[in-house]
Amino acid sequence: MSSAYYLNQEGWDVTVIDKTDLSDNCSYGNLGMIVPSHFVPLAAPGMIAQGIKWMFNSRSPFYVKPSLNMDLISWGLKFVKSATQENVDKSAIPLRDINLLSKALYEELSVQPGFAFSMEKKGIMMYFKTEKVAEEEIHLAEKARSMGLDVEALNKQQAQALETEVQLDVLGAVHYRCDAHLYPNQLIPQLIAALKNKGVQFKTNCSVEKIIKEGNKIKSVITNNGVFEKDMVVMAAGSWLPQLTKMAGVPVPLMPGKGYSFTLTEPARKLNIPSILCEARVAITPMNGYMRYGGTMEIAPVNNKINIKRVEGIVQSVPKYFPNIQLQMPQEKDIWYGFRPCTPDGVPYIGFAKKVDNLLIAGGHAMSGLSLGPATGKLIAEMASGRQTSMDVTAFNPERFS
Ligand SMILES: Cc1cc2nc3c(=O)[nH]c(=O)nc-3n(C[C@H](O)[C@H](O)[C@H](O)COP(=O)(O)OP(=O)(O)OC[C@H]3O[C@@H](n4cnc5c(N)ncnc54)[C@H](O)[C@@H]3O)c2cc1C
């Protein structure tokens, strides 16, 4: 949607093709956090050891489903190779910059007619309960400050002073004041409505099945509901991206990272500031008067089974940090899940395919796809028009694993 928005703004005549009716996808039930704070990619030192420990706990926040699936094995090997300090160091600035660009674009978008998506700039809190995590988070906060981000480490009393309704049982917190949040269930329909207003065509329930190339160009996009011949193709298919790029002969390694959320529309207690419970890897966002709880990362091929134990893991971790929030297990019908499109190095794919002149790739944003939407769309539109991009896009090269 973001690519369509900025392409339309650049004067392109845009058609959005989607296999669903666009009433639900990963961009709806997420936690709505806009996160310059997330400059450390998922593939970081320590992730492998931690991941292996978590794999033996069915309620743990991170899980790679053991399988002989070749895509998973190949992705896993690349992930292990990427989980280095070098990857963290070279990704930090591009991830910070694209998040800051996106936040600025959200601020612009939030005052446009037709948009009211409850954007708030209160930052996010990283709560910790153990000395070990306190040390890691405070170290990270110092790094963030040295990178120019507005961040402060707080003791328990200072953190409690920012939350009036919710009692804290934590050692302390880091407050990333540079972050923001919004209500994705307002944003996405408003983007769709704005695009329709501007004349963007929508072909929904229309699945891309085949790509026909002529020389170095895509000639036609074949769907179950028509054939499309266009000057430029942008593939932005979330966790299904590799299936689409493969049709054009461009391999991009990517695995779905399934996560869950549930939203209380009448919460007994509300947080003031969105929060991440560090040890539990659970996120909580007050949005539009509601409270949304979410987390867990199951790396496995797309499947529509709800793993109730993972949701229990979320529910049970909350009172450990906030004793006066006692949650009931949500009913299965109220549990939302989505598939985060995860690249092996935790950095998105944004850019032209090397050998297909009219193919742009926009995906692989993992746990930051809501945050990075507008910046990705803007960069895609600038590249499509052959203009200077708003930031250096080298780190996002979609074919860096080829
Ligand atoms: C629990 C959870 C919490 C999260 N919290 C946050 C957060 O706080 N902040 C943040 O920034 N991010 C968050 N995320 C991540 C974020 O939601 C994703 O990164 C983002 O939604 C991905 O967007 P996308 O447009 O790439 O993919 P999607 O939203 O999944 O869209 C991909 C689209 O491609 C279409 N498609 C696929 N195949 C085809 C085909 N063959 N033909 C036509 N169409 C096709 C699909 O129908 C779909 O509509 C969270 C994710 C989860 C699961």
Q: Which amino acid is at 220?
A: S
275 Cβ below 6 A of ligand 1: no
Mutate which of 240, 276, 335 for ligand 1 pocket (most atoms within 8 A of beta carbon): 240
DSSP character at residue 75: H
367 Cβ below 6 A of ligand 1: yes
DSSP β-bridge partners for residue 257: 299, 340
Q: How far is the CA of 364 from the centre of ligand 1 (A)?
A: 9
370 Cβ below 6 A of ligand 1: yes
For 271-322, how does the pLDDT look when each residue is reduced to its tens digit (9 = 90+)?
999 999 999 999 999 999 999 999 999 998 999 999 999 999 999 999 999 9
Residue with the larger pLDDT of the pair 385 and 55: 385
Mutate which of 1, 28, 30, 376 for ligand 1 pocket (most atoms within 8 A of beta carbon): 30
Please give the Cα distance from 9 to 336 (Å, whole number).
33
For 179-200, how does the pLDDT look when each residue is reduced to its tens digit (9 = 90+)?
999 999 999 999 999 999 999 9
11-16, long-range: CB < 8 A, 24+ apart:
11/385, 12/232, 12/381, 12/384, 12/385, 13/199, 14/195, 14/200, 14/201, 15/200, 15/201, 15/202, 15/203, 15/228, 15/230, 16/195, 16/200, 16/201, 16/202, 16/203
The proportion of the chain whose per-residue pLDDT surpasses 90, expressed as a percent, equals 92
For 137-175, how does the pLDDT look when each residue is reduced to its tens digit (9 = 90+)?
999 999 999 999 999 999 999 999 999 999 999 999 999
Q: How far is the CA of 246 from the centre of ligand 1 (A)?
A: 19
Q: Which atom of ligand 1 is nearest to the CA of 295?
A: 1
Does residue 52 register a pLDDT over 90?
no
Q: Which atom of ligand 1 is nearest to the CA of 370?
A: 11
For 279-289, how does the pLDDT look when each residue is reduced to its tens digit (9 = 90+)?
999 999 999 99
Please give the Cα distance from 82 to 235 (Å, whole number).
24
Does residue 239 register a pLDDT over 90?
yes
33 Cβ below 6 A of ligand 1: yes
3 Cβ below 6 A of ligand 1: no
**Is residue 90 within 8 Å of residue 96, measured between CB atoms?**
no
How does the average pLDDT of the chain come out, rounded?
95
224 Cβ below 6 A of ligand 1: no
Please give the Cα distance from 372 to 2 (Å, whole number).
9
50 Cβ below 6 A of ligand 1: no
363 Cβ below 6 A of ligand 1: yes
Does residue 62 register a pLDDT over 90?
no
Q: Which atom of ligand 1 is nearest to the CA of 258?
A: 53
